[in-house]
Structure 1
Amino acid sequence: MTAFRTLDGVDLKGKRVLVRVDLNVPMADGKVTDDTRIRAVAPTIGEIAGKGGKVILLAHFGRPKEGPDSKLSLKQVVPALSDVLGRPVAFAEDCIGEKAASAVAAMQTGDVLLLENTRFRKAEEKNEPDFVDALAKFGDVYVNDAFSAAHRAHASTEGLARRLPAYAGRAMQKEIEALEAALGSPKRPVVAVIGGAKVSSKIDVLENLTAKVDALVIGGGMANTFLLAKGVAVGKSLAEPDLADTAKRIMAAAEKAGCSIVLPVDVVVAAEFKEGAASRVVDVGAVGPDDMILDIGPRSIDTVDAWIDKAATLVWNGPLGAFEVPPFDRATVAAAKHAAERT
């Protein structure tokens, strides 16, 4: 029996249901190029609408720096969302205020409404109580179906869960149950591959995993911060120097717990981050001042594959490089294929 509340048996008829989803999908020329994340949340949206609920979707898109930005508007996601759901999707040009209130008031049972990018409001990431209240007044029930954003204590995640009756959506439920199976009483060795851009977004995950897994393979931009913490120069690569001490603390905790920390030994570098950019492979100690680390190198891929081979249980979250832009997807794809061959 699950230790969290799901949609099983919940009466949603006529209720306004605020649903946090992950619609941070890749785009090109104003169109969604990969609808995987939309398809992941479609069952939850369909179930709520089918039960007579009014589905009000909350999501972020990209990392807006100074408020609203048309390039980061969720309006461009509406056509793909509607196609996947097989039903109309209304759009509100704000996530709070009169525009949002009018759109919510116009809803009928079974309707789906997408509110504008929550990160257009700085209060979202600060989890400001007034902003949480402004969102909460649009809903009777809160459902979180955005596992990828659940670790962030933002208004649309942590804040709303404390204001309204809260439930896990079907995608969230599936992820949590998989984690419980993998980390509750797993077959060992347990190997976790953790990638992504920033240490700051996964500090809690990393610290918790050091006590639960036998090896922690770190890739993506966050590996650069760990390399910095070890005194390795990373040039112009994405990194968080202010979190070097945090990385040192995580490495110390891992050593105490007997967890191996696996970092890249060679990397793919380029002078610019764009598709098809000229790149080369260098040892981690040979990254130049103008280089950007955009993927792990072939020897590092071999190391990741070797750890995958050792694993009786494998947990994976996040890419090993800047996988959105070829050829810097090479390591992620290669390691994922190797893992698939093991299953």
Structure 2
Amino acid sequence: MPANSFYKACARLFDRPHRSTSKSFTIKVRRSLPAALILSVSFSKIAFAHSTDRHEPAAFELFKTFTGEIQGSLYRSARKAGVSSPFIHKFATIFRHKIDFSKDLKAGDRFKLLTDNSLKNKKGAGGVILAARLYQKDEIHTAVRYSDGKYYTPEGKILGSSFSRYPLGKKGRVSSGFNPARKHPITGQIRPHNGTDWAVPVGTAIYAPADGVIVKAKTNHPAAGHFIEMRNGSRYVTRYLHLSKLHVKEGQKVRKGDLIGKTGNTGLSTGPHLHYELFIDGKAVDPMTARLPTGEPLQGDALKRFKKTTQPLIAAMNQNQQETLLVSKATSAPDNWLTLKNSDAF
């Protein structure tokens, strides 16, 4: 049923001049329906409540919005706002490629969650986050859940920012690959070469391979020369050595594709090149073969369908007041149905 038809049907049923308080009826909604069809009920200000019939089970909140402010850790702040532990974990998981929650959160940052509790069990487990938002001083992160179960930005870019394998603005020759037991060309010592060397002219542009935060931006290191270290979410760290120029500062946030520096020949170097390192969960890996997060943004008709389906979620996140939908679960209905009943609460 199209969303507008569903809305009109509900409007006729709940139109006060024609509503009988003694009338009883049931509306069935499939859980598998797009969120837009269900959420349109809430947005139209039609409030559902459980039947007073003593034979019906107690009502529970199907959709609920939580808002809060960071004071201390995310966990303590979210628990104070009434968010359950499973939802806190899911919230952190959604943004794990964007934020390192142990380092990037600041007092005064705010969060908001729109949750669907229809799949919760008696212990409170289950349920999904339909939309999530984190307000920071200079940035707002928003995620919406789509029908494929994945989370996207409102613009249709999948969360878990894609990682480019090559940070250079032009192709270069690999002069030395990842090798845990390489003989150093200058010192002659056998030691790990935890990265990939590209032989490129001095001044070749270097671009951030993924969104991140600059952890170190140093000059004149005896071995690394001018170098940059970047944290890309909670799992990834990248390093760029022997640079000629830095275009970023420590603590600066960068987006994928931002210019961060230019290649050089500084430090302990045999010639102009970029030494590029990648660490996953603290372990050095081969940047050329490591599994990296991928995800192309939605385009064309797929993007149009996405925006149409998720628009109600974005609208809900933009509302200030908390809205809930009270429903009762009919014991006689199949597991994949929810039964909504009217009451005198309108």
> TM-score if structure 1 supplies the norm length?
0.24
> TM-score if structure 2 supplies the norm length?
0.23
Q: Which has the higher strand share?
A: 2
Rg larger in structure: 2
Q: Which has the higher helix share?
A: 1
The higher relative CO (CA closer than 8 Å, separation ≥ 6) is in 2
